[in-house]
Structure 1
Amino acid sequence: MERLVDGLMSDDSEDINDDEDIEGMGDISSNSSEDSSDESASDGDNDRNSITEESKAGTSADGASSHPDNLLLDEENEVVKAILSGKQLCRNHPPSIILEDMITDICFHPIVDTIGVASITGDIYMYKYNNEETNLVSTIELHLKACRDIEFSENGRILFSAGKDLCIGITDVETEKLTRLYEKAHEQPVYTMTIINEDVFATGDDDGVVKLWDLRQKGNEPIFSIKKVEDYISAMITNRDAKYLVCSSGDGCLTTLNIPERKMHLQSEEYDEELTCLGLFKSERKLLAASSKGKMYVYNWGEFGLHSDEFPSISKAAINCMIPVTENIVITGGENGIRATSLFPHRQLGIVGQHDFSVETLDISNNGTLIASSSHNNDIKFWNVQYFETLNVTESVKGGKQKWFKHNLPSSEINNRSDFFAEL
């Protein structure tokens, strides 16, 4: 940007020098004309009158010249002003992060402005971010194969990680030292994990096995293990009471465990699609489960046998991940990009952002103003979603469901065609 400004300014100086050269040539011409024969007085008067009229015509009412060279200078000066003004504008979200390796998970730090990024190589990258830049501050080499899930503890001091190498790592965030390693924690690669409290966490693997772990226990043995499904555990979630652990799976059902009693509580009916991700809403009274066919099922917390409401999919494209941004609005990521949905009333709100490929992971920052998303393009994008705090979800987009589907929200940075033509 600075080079462009400098280039424009240098062009201005060249034009000014050209004008000086032209004036110099005029002096030479006037000197040579003194040596030539004099023309008649009437012809000279006519020429002077003609020049005077032309110069008047070439000067605007405010005294500015309309000479083509001067107009070009004015235009270039306006461009320079626009560029300088644009540089002064503040971004409302950090710039993108691009990795050489495939991104498998992302997780915001709960206290400071740092985001952890897990990769297919098993490494974890720590980036500090602000609205102007993102900086890689450390690389933690933990797993021999893909690191599939990372989670920070509530106080941000511990980083939990699990991967395809069957291991679970516990890392001190400040020192970046591995404080504990659960080797061969599962017989199959760990797919997902969740933190229940400061001592207990849970993991689920590709074979449908769920295990509970207690950091206070010595050794590498879980405090509880259960297998009630045949396909992978896609997501796990609990609430502040930490009584129930709800697990979704590729089998298309929810399996709920009673954490204090360390036993199975309930298993839902089986759907004909994979259940891919979970979220809590309405002060943790509602559980939302999304599917590989783009549907969303609502459960009353504690009543996990059958959903109480169902939201059909517009495009039937898979929903891979979700994140609550308010008590009533969910942001989902998948083959149709990043989209926002109001749950009550149920309404498609529009497009939050876009990637070139399917969105695989989502997370929300510690202050709730930013979400981050990643795709198979090895990129992480940030979106400012603060506008959801004041968004009126009762206002519908005119034109029906297809208009909702194509509606761009402020964070997408893409104008809707109807908005563009409305300004004309």
Structure 2
Amino acid sequence: MPDISVGAQTFDLIFHPTESIVYAGLLTGEVKAFGYDEQGQHDQRFTLKPSKRSCRGLAIDEQGDHIWSVGKGKSLCTIDTRTAQITNTRPAVHDAPINRVRYVSQHLLATGDDDGTVKLWDSRTPAEIRAYNHHFDFISDFLWLSDKRHLVVTSGDGTLSVLDIRSSKTTPLAQSEDQEDELLSAVAIKGGQKVVVGTQMGILSIFNRKSGWGDCVDRVPGHPHSIDTLSALPSSYPSSHSTILTGSSDGLIRVVQLLPTKLLGIVTDHGDYPVERIVIDRAGEGHWVGSVGHEDVLKLTDLKDIFEDEDEDDAEGEVSENADSENERPDVIVPEMVKEEKKKAEGWDTDEPESEGEPKSKKRKKKQTKVPLAKKREKKGKNQIVTDPSFFSGL
């Protein structure tokens, strides 16, 4: 699908849970809606401006009837998607700019700001239900664990916390030790039993819920830059329980299998722009991957182009896993639209990570050394990143 031009830098995007509509939150404070179809055509549905300041986060309810937007203006705004109207604005609900918003369950929202404050809201009442102040740096992401009704919070202060929304206490149920790195994103794998956290230094930290939240049980290196966003694969894919999409500040969206750890391929490339957000349509069960970086476009990539091409190649004959030359590498791990950009991924696990003080908006540096993306390493240590093209053969 051609890139959707949104007219300004995009910070967040969400999909309608049942319809082919995507919403983008922009630097200008606008929220724009676009319709799309299976042929890759798109059209703009509406444009609203809930705030004069930037829109940093969006959330949508289970029916897709309401959107909540937050941002630098510190307000919480409600948009009715059916009428394309702003129906409610709660001004100055935080003392600092709001960085994230998450729809948790019916009528319940969570917001997190740059100072580390988390607030819970009932969409039907004007005041917050509870406020949590145990974090002291920006709230980077929320992860909802519905089986225990726990809200996992990641923060730039280097800790992860777990909130029990059923409790009236304003202290967390659990909080991890300092991980000595900014925690930027989170996603659940293994049926929700493990939580993967992306960090500023490009390491995936894995927490095991059965072992408690005190510290991660494993660390997976490999990304040359920060991991700003994570997404699970749709459950229809056989390896969805252990395979995730990672969005890095080097502009690449990767398919990574965990436990055992393997780099499986590249979904798309945002060039010199860091990837801010990855979302899959149809409430995470569709086949369109939406991604935004610091450019003024929204990319929609079809997962079918990645997974189904492997079946066609398997019918003609399998490519040797021990291929040594560039020509023998299986191109199916890279979509057609990014084949010319494959070499940008060849620095996997070769670059030094970005320093913590470097702004995320800076363009990524050119890599100094290159390692073929699909070439197996001779020695495989613990959590070593290797490529396994056979991952796609059963899909």
Per the TM superposition, whether the score is higher than 0.5 is yes
Using the TM superposition, give the Cα deviation of residue 353 of structure 1 relative to its aligned residue in structure 2, in angstroms: 1.1
SS state of the match for residue 177, structure 2?
coil
Using the TM superposition, give the Cα deviation of residue 344 of structure 1 relative to its aligned residue in structure 2, in angstroms: 2.6
In structure 2, do the counterparts of structure 1 residues 252 and 397 end up closer, same or farther at CA, with 3 Å as the change threshold? farther
Q: Which residue, out of 41, 65, 79, partners 1:171?
A: 79
Using the TM superposition, give the Cα deviation of residue 410 of structure 1 relative to its aligned residue in structure 2, in angstroms: 3.8
Cross-structure match for 1:377 = 295
Cross-structure match for 2:392 = none
* Counterpart residue identity of residue 153, structure 1: D
Q: Whole-Å Cα distance in 2 between the matches of residues 332 and 376 of structure 1? A: 16
Q: Which residue, out of 187, 191, 194, partners 1:283?
A: 191
Cross-structure match for 1:339 = 254
Are positions 1:309 and 2:218 aligned together? yes
Q: Whole-Å Cα distance in 2 between the matches of residues 150 and 226 of structure 1? A: 21
In structure 2, do the counterparts of structure 1 residues 111 and 314 end up closer, same or farther at CA, with 3 Å as the change threshold? closer
Q: Whole-Å Cα distance in 2 between the matches of residues 327 and 389 of structure 1? A: 19
In structure 2, do the counterparts of structure 1 residues 287 and 223 end up closer, same or farther at CA, with 3 Å as the change threshold? same
Cross-structure match for 1:181 = 89
The C-alpha deviation readout for 1:197-226, integer Å capped at 9, x for no partner, is 01111000000000011123x33x211101
Question: Bigger radius of gyration, 1 or 2?
Answer: 1
The answer to whether the 8 A contact 1:351-1:408 is kept is: no
Cross-structure match for 2:175 = 267
The answer to whether the 8 A contact 1:238-1:245 is kept is: yes
Q: How does 1:188-267 map to 2 (within 5 A)?
A: 188-216=96-124, 218-219=125-126, 221-241=127-147, 243-263=149-169, 264-267=172-175
The C-alpha deviation readout for 1:148-183, integer Å capped at 9, x for no partner, is 111111111111111111100112110122232221
Using the TM superposition, give the Cα deviation of residue 379 of structure 1 relative to its aligned residue in structure 2, in angstroms: 1.4
Q: Whole-Å Cα distance in 2 between the matches of residues 335 and 408 of structure 1? A: 24
Cross-structure match for 2:277 = 361
* Counterpart residue identity of residue 100, structure 1: G
In structure 2, do the counterparts of structure 1 residues 397 and 100 end up closer, same or farther at CA, with 3 Å as the change threshold? farther
The answer to whether the 8 A contact 1:250-1:274 is kept is: yes
Q: Whole-Å Cα distance in 2 between the matches of residues 335 and 168 of structure 1? A: 28
TM-score (norm 1): 0.70
Q: How does 1:41-120 map to 2 (within 5 A)?
A: 94-120=1-27
Q: Whole-Å Cα distance in 2 between the matches of residues 136 and 188 of structure 1? A: 32
The C-alpha deviation readout for 1:20-75, integer Å capped at 9, x for no partner, is xxxxxxxxxxxxxxxxxxxxxxxxxxxxxxxxxxxxxxxxxxxxxxxxxxxxxxxx
Are positions 1:411 and 2:335 aligned together? yes
Are positions 1:348 and 2:255 aligned together? no
The answer to whether the 8 A contact 1:351-1:407 is kept is: no
The answer to whether the 8 A contact 2:8-2:295 is kept is: no
Q: Which structure has greater helix proportion?
A: 1
Q: Whole-Å Cα distance in 1 between the matches of residues 181 and 292 of structure 2? A: 24
Q: Whole-Å Cα distance in 2 between the matches of residues 120 and 342 of structure 1? A: 33
In structure 2, do the counterparts of structure 1 residues 368 and 411 end up closer, same or farther at CA, with 3 Å as the change threshold? farther
Q: Which runs of 5+ in 2 are unaligned?
A: 234-239, 312-318, 344-371, 374-395
Cross-structure match for 1:147 = 55
The answer to whether the 8 A contact 2:145-2:152 is kept is: no
Using the TM superposition, give the Cα deviation of residue 243 of structure 1 relative to its aligned residue in structure 2, in angstroms: 2.2
The answer to whether the 8 A contact 2:141-2:185 is kept is: yes
In structure 2, do the counterparts of structure 1 residues 412 and 260 end up closer, same or farther at CA, with 3 Å as the change threshold? farther
SS state of the match for residue 304, structure 1?
coil
Query: Number of residue pairs matched?
Result: 319
Cross-structure match for 1:127 = 34
SS state of the match for residue 273, structure 1?
coil
Q: What is the alpha-carbon root mean square deviation over aligned residues?
A: 2.8
Q: Whole-Å Cα distance in 2 between the matches of residues 399 and 306 of structure 1? A: 39
Mean CA deviation greater in 351-360 or 298-307: 298-307
The answer to whether the 8 A contact 1:290-1:319 is kept is: yes
Displaced runs of 4 or more, over 6 A: 389-392, 405-408, 415-419
In structure 2, do the counterparts of structure 1 residues 169 and 242 end up closer, same or farther at CA, with 3 Å as the change threshold? farther
* Counterpart residue identity of residue 258, structure 1: D
Q: Whole-Å Cα distance in 2 between the matches of residues 198 and 184 of structure 1? A: 23
The answer to whether the 8 A contact 1:188-1:207 is kept is: yes
In structure 2, do the counterparts of structure 1 residues 341 and 321 end up closer, same or farther at CA, with 3 Å as the change threshold? same
- Greater relative CO (CA pairs within 8 A, separation 6+): 2
Cross-structure match for 1:329 = 243
In structure 2, do the counterparts of structure 1 residues 151 and 406 end up closer, same or farther at CA, with 3 Å as the change threshold? farther
Q: Which runs of 5+ in 1 are unaligned?
A: 1-93, 420-424
* Counterpart residue identity of residue 222, structure 2: S
SS state of the match for residue 283, structure 1?
helix
Using the TM superposition, give the Cα deviation of residue 368 of structure 1 relative to its aligned residue in structure 2, in angstroms: 2.0
Using the TM superposition, give the Cα deviation of residue 396 of structure 1 relative to its aligned residue in structure 2, in angstroms: 9.6
* Counterpart residue identity of residue 268, structure 1: S
